[in-house]
Amino acid sequence: YFTEIQELPPDPLFGLKARYSKDTRTDKVDLGIGAYRDNNGKPWVLPAVQQAEAKLAKTPGYNHEYLGIAGYEPFVSSAAKIILNGDNKDVLERTVSVQTLSGTGSLHLAGLFLKKFYKGSNALYLSLPTWANHNQVFASIGFDVKSYPYWDNDTKSLDLNGFLNAIALAPPKSVFLLHACAHNPTGLDPTKEEWSKILEAMSKYDHLPLFDSAYQGFASGSLENDRFAIEAATSASSPIKSSPIIICQSFAKNCGMYGERVGALHIVLPKDLVDLKPAIKSQLNKIIRCEISNPPAYGAKVVALILEDKALYKQWTEDLQVMANRIKSMRVKLRDLLTNKYKTPGNWDHIVDQTGMFSFTGLNKDMVERLERNHGVYLVSSGRASVAGLNDSNVERVAQAIDEVVRF
């Protein structure tokens, strides 16, 4: 039995976390995993979350009973409103939503659902590069995973022509995974004009958009700005008229609820398919029942309170700005140190131009290895740095270390 099982190398990101934990250097810096840290380098429980938790514990009849298969209804409907624009009743009426195990569970459920019911192509396109887990989530379900050009390394900008070309050449009705905002790992998002060209092309070649929204509110500090692409794709004026649109939504980052696994899957249907909503919901429920029986309740109840209660919601929007602004200020500090103080060879403006949790620094594998070995500064081998790991106490040291590995 089992004799052919081979041990796999550690997951690159969680392997990095393990090496970091073992490192005994007191001035080590973790720029690996995409989790927000405050200016003391500590995880941050958002004030909105603290207040919601306190309120939840005092709610009469509070308990830990099972949720229904599709999740906690107040959470699911509020989550749909926040990602789709709650004022747009037409879109909400065309949408089927269920609760999922955070963003990853949503992607997986979307994959299982499409695999079973989508009559289009089996090809699923990911941006090059993309979040490392995308590949294995969809390959493990049996998709033919391909990639579309996204990041132009020479210009450190979007390869829009390559992207549009890939859309034109893909088999019709392919699935395209699109990062809704704060692209991971490059921190580079299409502009509004570029999004409109991308969506036009998606419509022309009849592909299915699968939005991954893991950073709403994190990129700009505004929930409305960060759902721009999703609104453009789902509103009445969208060029996409005949294909369903799928949205995988995570509250891990924007609520700092990483380990509580709070997420949702939304399937927005074109007008002529609205009657299928009950059938689609019942099939999603069947998959959920087989996979997890029903989703976790605690985090969904906390997030529902934040989304529903005016005062908590206001607190949350402020918390989002605290996180987004601290990250933006660290980008500026790092760029300024490299450019002005150390006069590090190269142009470092991209650190400021990029958005969200990450900066695609342009440091190569060898430089990243030396940063870890010689300086105790940890980032993934692609050169992606989690800017949230920088703070006033370590940014200078990180800049000095980057300068050293770039120069020598």
How far apart are CB 108 and ligand PMP at their closest, in Å?
9
- For ligand PMP, which is the closer residue by CB, 104 or 216? 104
131, 151, 316, 348: which is the annotated catalytic residue?
Answer: 131
> Which amino acid appears at position 397 of this protein?
R
151, 159, 189, 253: which is the annotated catalytic residue?
Answer: 253
- For ligand PMP, which is the closer residue by CB, 203 or 382? 382
30, 159, 212, 319: which is the annotated catalytic residue?
Answer: 212
How far apart are CB 78 and ligand PMP at their closest, in Å?
17
- For ligand PMP, which is the closer residue by CB, 150 or 205? 150
151 part of the active site? no
How far apart are CB 262 and ligand PMP at their closest, in Å?
8
- For ligand PMP, which is the closer residue by CB, 131 or 378? 131
How far apart are CB 248 and ligand PMP at their closest, in Å?
7
d(CA 43, CA 59): 27
How far apart are CB 179 and ligand PMP at their closest, in Å?
6
d(CA 283, CA 115): 12
How far apart are CB 182 and ligand PMP at their closest, in Å?
8
195 part of the active site? no
- For ligand PMP, which is the closer residue by CB, 131 or 151? 131
d(CA 145, CA 119): 17
131 part of the active site? yes
Structure tokens at 130: 């993309």
- For ligand PMP, which is the closer residue by CB, 303 or 338? 303
Binding residues vs ligand PMP (CB under 6 A)? 34, 102-104, 131, 179, 184, 212, 214, 250, 252, 258, 263
Enzyme catalytic residues: 131, 212, 253
